[in-house]
Structure 1
Amino acid sequence: MTTSIFAFIIVLGILIFFHELGHFLVARLFGVGVEKFSLGFGPRLLGKTVGMTDYRISAIPLGGYVKMVGDEPDAELDPAMIPYSFTHKHVFKKIMIVAAGPFFNLLLAVIIYAGFFYFIGTEDIRPVVNHVAADSPAARAGLHNGDVVVAVNGSKVASWGGINRLIAEGRGAEVRITVNRDDSRFDVAVTPQTKVAKDILGDDAPYYDVGFSGLAPLKALVGEVAEGYPAQKAGMQKGDLIVAINDRPVDSWNTMKEIISQSKGEPMDVRVLRGEETLALEIVPVLYSEENILGEKVDSYRIGISTAGIDIPEADRITLKRGPFQAIAESIDQTYQISRLTLLSIGKLIKGTVSTKTLGGPIMIAEMAGQQAKEGIVNLVFFIAVLSINLAVLNFLPIPVLDGGHLMFFFIEAVIGRPINIRMREIAQQAGIFVLIMLMIFVFYNDIVRVFSN
């Protein structure tokens, strides 16, 4: 609990600081006076006044704000302060000041990812072919196990991540793969097969499969046997290798899963290899229901075993660090992809295709922050990056009170050539506050239900 609270304060403090720093720096850039720069709301706990700005930490650590001169359109203002007034600046300067907050949250994510790609790098495997699927484009092109891929369409590759990225960029078009085999180097032309899988949001996502891999197929080797499940009742043990089900050969973990999923709960004759002994077991799969990451109910037939995992030889493992420009480019792409995923998730929440049970508030964030902190500083920093992107996307939504609501008003002002009626803005702000209060009550309810249900 202490770790979660401490991690929550650190995470929230960093996110709020960067957000408000964006507003502050751009406001000062355009000559707007800043009266308060506060981390937190409510009574002032401590701080220091420099010039006209009171830099403070306030009692309620659930947000922050920058109080600018003249940011209330109907407030009386000393004529001497008009040059420093937010309201009296050109509308496009006001747009940039408001947009700077969420933009700085995106910038924080880019900085974190760029630092990770440059200083730490990502783990990958050497571009050595360890599996070629039968009757696949790679097999028809004559690729073999042991081939070393050195380039795709003339671009050098150092890992399987690079191979997969370049093939995906071709979007199904023929690719030229350069390989080393023994003492020779040659090119082969391969046309990927377009296949469809489900993405993290449950939507169809096309991908382009050549039919080769740096990993051998995952064997149907039993890692753990769940107590009380059919496999355990039938006598299956850790280390058993499933070689056939209903006389159908099992060549991989995926083949085994496919057979079990199609069983419809009918008894199965399972043949396993235990040491040098072959055993015959009768197992009846059970229907198991769970919620996926989207809160949707998913039914599947299971027998209660888990994989022993993939054993990647140490010689095949590599760590790839990027140069400064590539690190920045990849960090921008990573930030874009998570922003896109966040927007799609919000759309599915509105449509009702994603359960509102997935929404969480401060308690959930604190729990997750604590978990990531226990996993290590790198995990916690990555968590900050993801939350920072979420905060930016949410703040860009056109809801009054949020930055996106202010931007909506200023864009309308830019179009019609005058500010929106103050009374209309007040009504919209009140509606926005009501929506946010209802949302906060709902996520707190979700958090409490989640805590007591665990």
Structure 2
Amino acid sequence: MTTNIFAFVVVLGILIFFHELGHFLVARMFGVGVEKFSLGFGPRLFGRTVGLTDYRISAIPLGGYVKMVGDEPDAELAPEMIPYSFTHKHVFKKIMIVAAGPFFNLLLAVIIYTGFFIFIGTEDIRPVVNHVAKESPAAQAGLQTGDLVVAVDGSTVASWSDINRLVADGHGRAVRISAKREDSFFDVSVVPQTKVAKDILGDDAPYYDIGFSGLAPLKAVVGEVADGYPAKKAGMQPGDLIVAIDDQPVDSWNTMKAIISQSHGEPMRLRVVRGEENLSVDIVPVLFSEENVLGEKVDSYRIGISTPGLDIPDADRITIKRGFFEAVAESVDQTYQISRLTLLSIGKLIKGTVSTKTLGGPIMIAEMAGQQAKAGFTNLIFFIAVLSINLAVLNFLPIPVLDGGHLMFFFIEAAIRRPINVRMREIAQQAGIFILILLMIFVFYNDIMRIFSS
């Protein structure tokens, strides 16, 4: 609990600081006076006044704000303060000041990812072919297990991520694979097959597959056996290798999983190799229900075993570190992809295709922050980056009270060349506050129900 609270305060403090720093710096750049720079809401706990600005820490650590001179349209100002007034600045300056907050949250994510790509790097595997699917484009082109891929369409590759990226960039056209086999180099032309998988939001995601991989198929070896499930009752043990089900050969974990999931709960006989022994095990799969990442109920038949995980030889593991410009480019792309995914998720929540049960509030954020903190500094930093992107996207939504709502008013002001009626803005702000209060109540409810159901 203490770790969760501490991690929550740290994470939220960093996110709020960067957000408000964006508003503050751009406001000062355009000559707007800043009266308060507060981390938190409510009563002032402590702080320091420098010039016009009171830099303070406030009692409620669930947000923050920058109070600018004349940020209320109907505020009365002394004549000497009008040059420092937010309201009296050109509308495009006001747009930039408001947009700077969420923009700085995106910038924070880019900074975090850039530092990670430069100094820590990403784990990958050497571009050695460890599996070629039968009758795949790679097999037809003559590629074999053990081949080292050195280039795709003339671009040098250092890892399997490079291969996947370059094949995807081809958009299905033939690609030239340059490889090394023993001491000789050769080129082959391969036309990828277009296949479709499900992405994290359950949508169809086309991809291009050549039919080779840096990972050998995962064998149907038992990692753990869950208590209370058919496998445990039948006496299966960790390390057992499943080679057939009802006389149907099993060549991989995925093949075994597919056969069991299609069993409809009918009895089946597994042929198992345990050390030097060949055993037959009779099992009746059970129906298992769970929620996926979309909050949808998913039913599947299982016998209660798990995989021991991938076993990648140390010789094939590599760490890729990038130069500054490459790291920045990849960081921007990563930030864009997460922003896009966040927007799509919001759209699916509105449509009802994603369950509202997936929404969480401060309690859930605190739990997740604590988990990431326990997992290590790198995990926590990545969590901050993802949360910062989410905060930016949410703040850009055109909801009154949020930055996006203010931007909406200012864009209208720019279009009609006069400020929107103060009374109209007040009504919109009240509606926005009402919406946010309802949302906060709902996510708190979700958080509480999640605690009691766990």
TM-score normalized by the length of structure 2: 0.99
SS across alignment from 1:41: strand
SS across alignment from 2:223: strand
- How far apart in 2 are the matches of 1:310 and 1:365? 30
Q: Within the alignment, does 1:272 sit opposite 2:266 as a pair?
A: no
- How far apart in 1 are the matches of 2:226 and 2:449? 28
Give the equivalent residue in structure 2 for 1:28.
28
Structure 1 segments unaligned to the other structure (5+ residues): none
Residue type of the partner of 2:88?
A: H
Q: What does the per-residue CA deviation read over 1:154-183, in whole Å, with 9 as the maximum and x for residues that have no partner?
A: 110000011111111112111111001111
Residue type of the partner of 2:436?
A: L
Give the equivalent residue in structure 1 for 2:192.
192
Residue type of the partner of 1:133?
A: A
- How far apart in 2 are the matches of 1:270 and 1:383? 42
Give the equivalent residue in structure 2 for 1:109.
109
Q: Within the alignment, does 1:396 sit opposite 2:363 as a pair?
A: no
Identical-pair percentage: 84
Alignment of 1:5-84 (within 5 A): 5-84=5-84
Aligned length: 454
- How far apart in 2 are the matches of 1:53 and 1:275? 74
Give the equivalent residue in structure 1 for 2:3.
3
Give the equivalent residue in structure 2 for 1:226.
226
Give the equivalent residue in structure 2 for 1:162.
162
Which is worse superposed, 387-396 or 163-172?
163-172
SS across alignment from 2:300: strand
Cα RMSD between the aligned structures?
0.7
SS across alignment from 2:365: helix
Give the equivalent residue in structure 2 for 1:445.
445
Give the equivalent residue in structure 2 for 1:430.
430
- How far apart in 2 are the matches of 1:145 and 1:327? 32
What is the Cα deviation at residue 309 of structure 1?
1.4
SS across alignment from 2:108: helix
- How far apart in 2 are the matches of 1:227 and 1:45? 52
- How far apart in 2 are the matches of 1:88 and 1:149? 62
Alignment of 1:11-410 (within 5 A): 11-410=11-410
Residue type of the partner of 1:406?
A: H
Q: What does the per-residue CA deviation read over 1:22-42, in whole Å, with 9 as the maximum and x for residues that have no partner?
A: 000000000101010000111
SS across alignment from 2:196: strand
What is the Cα deviation at residue 281 of structure 1?
1.1
Q: What does the per-residue CA deviation read over 1:428-447, in whole Å, with 9 as the maximum and x for residues that have no partner?
A: 00000000000001111111
What is the Cα deviation at residue 276 of structure 1?
1.5
Q: What does the per-residue CA deviation read over 1:1-45, in whole Å, with 9 as the maximum and x for residues that have no partner?
A: 111111110000000000000000000000101010000111111
What is the Cα deviation at residue 83 of structure 1?
0.7
Which is worse superposed, 228-237 or 60-69?
228-237
What is the Cα deviation at residue 234 of structure 1?
1.5
What is the Cα deviation at residue 264 of structure 1?
1.0
Q: What does the per-residue CA deviation read over 1:293-319, in whole Å, with 9 as the maximum and x for residues that have no partner?
A: 111100011111001111111111100
Residue type of the partner of 2:169?
A: E
SS across alignment from 1:298: strand
- How far apart in 1 are the matches of 2:29 and 2:370? 37
TM-score normalized by the length of structure 1: 0.99
What is the Cα deviation at residue 237 of structure 1?
1.1
Residue type of the partner of 1:376?
A: G
Q: What does the per-residue CA deviation read over 1:39-91, in whole Å, with 9 as the maximum and x for residues that have no partner?
A: 01111111111110111111111100000011000011111111111001110
Q: What does the per-residue CA deviation read over 1:247-281, in whole Å, with 9 as the maximum and x for residues that have no partner?
A: 11100001101111111111111101111111111
Q: What does the per-residue CA deviation read over 1:353-399, in whole Å, with 9 as the maximum and x for residues that have no partner?
A: 11111111111111111111111111111110011000000000000
What is the Cα deviation at residue 452 of structure 1?
1.8
After superposing on structure 2, the runs of 4+ consecutive aligned residues of structure 1 that deviate more than 6 Å are: none
- How far apart in 1 are the matches of 2:227 and 2:166? 44
Q: What does the per-residue CA deviation read over 1:193-221, in whole Å, with 9 as the maximum and x for residues that have no partner?
A: 11111100011101111000111110000
Structure 2 segments unaligned to the other structure (5+ residues): none
SS across alignment from 2:290: strand
SS across alignment from 2:298: strand
- How far apart in 1 are the matches of 2:269 and 2:195? 32
Q: What does the per-residue CA deviation read over 1:90-112, in whole Å, with 9 as the maximum and x for residues that have no partner?
A: 10000000000000000000000
